[in-house]
Chain A
Amino acid sequence: MSSRMFVALCLAPLLIVAAAFFVLPLARLVVVGASGPDGAAAYLAILTEPRYRESLVATVILAVATTVATLITATIVGLFVQRHDFPGRSVLVALLTFPLALPGVVVGFMIILLAGRQGLIGEVARALTGQRLVFAYAAGGLFLGYLYFSIPRVILTIMASVEKLDPQVEEAARALGAGAWAVHRDVILPALVPAFIASGAICFATAMGAFGTAFTLATRTDVLPMVIYTEFTLNANFAMAAALSVGLGIVTWAALAVSRSAAGTSVAAAG
């Protein structure tokens, strides 16, 4: 057998799987998106139809806010946990990564228990101010839920990058007169930028496509995955659902592509 043939045989399973489960469904999705009464204009409707546009904007804003808040929180915690040894450190790390084990629906349920109509925060607020505070079902609840499952994804990447920092570079900055703030601003944070880009992109993609948590919580706000679900199941508008799916995919893919070229390394797409 020639080596060329051997390579082709080895690649065949991959090509078959890719064609069957990725290329063909995606192509079909694009075709279906243009098969409605409006044809290819359905794609335009994502931007022209207020309901779709607003949900796209809301989803992007939510995903960006989640990414920024996650990066800030995970960086502070990751730096602290990686740099300090204290009793219970490994328990804390296990706790911080625990949400990885929970499906989105459970995360949504936990947010309801925390900030829902019967939630803990509502009860405390009522006891203190006489007014019940409920934000689980609006953007605030979604944000909190997304934050909860995003932090573990980012924190592990940040901790790994912090561990790899050259301590001598920080010592060099200190020798030149830089205090703790300056060392963080000028040395540590710039060195962590590739980690921010890589983990931020995954965080953004996950938040854009999150469904379980949105399904549990998004009763007062529309995010794109929920709109797709509604069009598909309740309105049986397959064409619009497909067009929105392609639109969601393009925005997320574009974010990953930009971050990949900025980081110069491969950034995995999140599920």
Chain B
Amino acid sequence: MTANGKGVSLRLENCAKTYPGGIQVLSPMTLEIARGETVVLLGPSGCGKTTTLRIIAGLIQPDHGGRVLFDGVDVTSVPIEKRNVGMVFQSYALFPNMTVAGNIGYGLKIRHVPKAERRKRVDAMMQLVGIDTLHDRRVDQLSGGQRQRVALARAVACQPRVLLLDEPLTALDASLRDRLRTDLNQLFRSLGITTIYVTHDQGEAMALGDRIVVMTKGTIAQVGTPDEIYFRPANRFVAEFIGAANILEGPLQSEVMLLPGGQLHIDGGRTGDTAVAMVRPEAIGIVSPDGASWTGRIQTKIFLGDRLRLTVAEAATSAIVVDASNRLVVQVGDRVGLTVPNGSVRLLTS
């Protein structure tokens, strides 16, 4: 238990994982996480994010040569029960034979915290996550959202050095997920514990992470703040995985990309063979085709309430997606001009 309850700094050094049979699910990775930081491991299933989390937890050992350090101290060979980590699972993993209070107080009981003190801490935790009326309820009498709150309270009750969450909201329905996401965000900020959060949901990652680690096929694709990841993706995988992205391909001449529908200015572009660039749907503006340097023809139009989603053909090698104002008056088949502000197009390595 740390004196300030703010957790530890964390360092993964060369952590890889190979299972018997030679299947490497995680390539050697090094990652620094600051004290009190919330880092989200984001990626499609099978990208190695849960494996990374389980290595940090101490549930699995990294391959030889890999090290896990808490505040600079090597804990690689310390088993999970001695690491003082808090863990929240997708399935909640509550103890069905205990009440809500029994679940939350279990870690304190194991640590032989006196009953009165335990009761006080459990009550405080229940208040923190907003379930203070459920003290003696049985676990099977709780809704999904309440179970997740119990799991969360149980994980933080012992003031863990690191809080680890493995897809904690995936099993919940969409509206509840949104509400809990906001609550989680507040909770992480108020607790200030070093937190690692695994998800495949980019919305969750954006909302919760101080930094996001995007992973694919057992490697780190990019580490950055949510806006870095969104606006300056390191490669095509990150660009396409986070949000909607138009991938443009064409020869580059000086700072201009030549496309079927005209020309597009790209900052920092150099003359060369075919280049790949990315532009977000909301960054593209619709203007009159007269005098526009880049044009296309509207193929489909979908009204989404807050915006108009258009697909525009003939502008690039494949149709591009544009999010326009919901007041824009255009028809399918109209020829339109396309504008992109400086700095909104990003060259990608593929």
Contacts and interface: CB of A to CB of B under 8 A. Distances in A.
Interface of A: 166, 168-169, 171-179, 182, 186-187, 190-191, 193
Given A174-B80, A175-B81, A182 B110 contact: yes
Contact of A173 (B57, B106, B151): B106
Contacts of B93: 166, 168-169, 171-172
A140 to B, nearest CB: 36
B87 interface: yes
A173 B103 CA distance: 10
B81 A179 contact: yes
Contacts of A190: 95-97
B97 A172 contact: no
A177 B95 contact: no
A165 to B, nearest CB: 11
Interface of B: 57, 59, 79-82, 84-87, 89-91, 93-97, 106-107, 110-111, 151, 154-155, 158, 164
Contacts of A193: 97
B155 A177 contact: no
Contact of B107 (A168, A177, A179, A187): A177
A177 B97 contact: no
B29 to A, nearest CB: 22
25 contacts: A168-B90, A168-B91, A169-B93, A169-B95, A171-B57, A171-B89, A172-B87, A172-B94, A172-B95, A173-B106, A174-B59, A174-B79, A175-B57, A175-B81, A176-B106, A176-B107, A176-B110, A176-B158, A177-B84, A177-B111, A178-B110, A182-B110, A190-B95, A190-B96, A191-B97
Nearest to B84: A177
Nearest to A170: B93
B89 A176 contact: no
Given A166-B91, A171-B59, A176 B97 contact: no
B87 to A, nearest CB: 4
Given A171-B59, A171-B89, A176 B96 contact: no
Contacts of B85: 175
Given A190-B97, A191-B96, A191-B97, A175 B91 contact: no
Contact of B95 (A171, A174, A179, A186): A186
Contacts of A169: 93-96
A175 B80 contact: yes
Contacts of B154: 172, 176
Contacts of A168: 89-91, 93
Given A175-B86, A176-B154, A186 B80 contact: no
A171 B89 CA distance: 9
Nearest to A187: B95
Contacts of B151: 172
A178 B158 CA distance: 12
Given A168-B93, A171-B93, A186-B106, 10 more contacts: A169-B94, A171-B87, A172-B89, A176-B154, A177-B111, A178-B106, A179-B81, A187-B95, A191-B96, A193-B97
